[in-house]
Amino acid sequence: MCYDNSWEHDMSVTVYATHSCQYCKLEKSYLDENSIDYEVIFADDTRDNALKLYEESGQLGVPFTIIESADGKKHKVLGFDKARLAKLLGLE
């Protein structure tokens, strides 16, 4: 699922989530409210999605967010860390 908002930065945002995770829902709402484009990968949809999460993070906790800049640098955030997300996304 991808949300097409009006965020104009040269970054990609991927959120690993599960359908029952309340913090995942809060984070997605926060991104929506700030018009951030992001892709959601639900780790509980398929085994492959869970494996992708584990390969990226070394664990299965969600939300797990990857913010990748145009130069390929990845910032990884475990949990809904609003302050860190705001800083990385330039929302401060």
- Which one-letter DSSP state was computed for residue 45? T
Q: Residue 9: what pLDDT?
A: 57
- The dihedrals phi and psi of 13, each to the nearest 5 degrees, come to -125, 125
Number of domains the chain is built from: 1
Residue 46's domain spans which residues?
2-89
Query: The whole model's pTM is what?
Result: 0.88
* Cα 28 from Cα 36, distance rounded (Å): 9
> Which one, of 8, 13, 4, 7, lies nearest residue 77 by Cα?
13
Q: What confidence tens digit (pLDDT) does each residue in 7-39 have? A: 445 899 999 999 999 999 999 999 999 999 999
Residue 5 above 60 pLDDT? no
What CATH number corresponds to the domain at position 29?
3.40.30.10
Contact assessment for residue 2 and residue 38, using Cβ atoms and an 8 Å cutoff: yes
- The dihedrals phi and psi of 2, each to the nearest 5 degrees, come to -130, 135
Paired tokens of 9: 């930065």
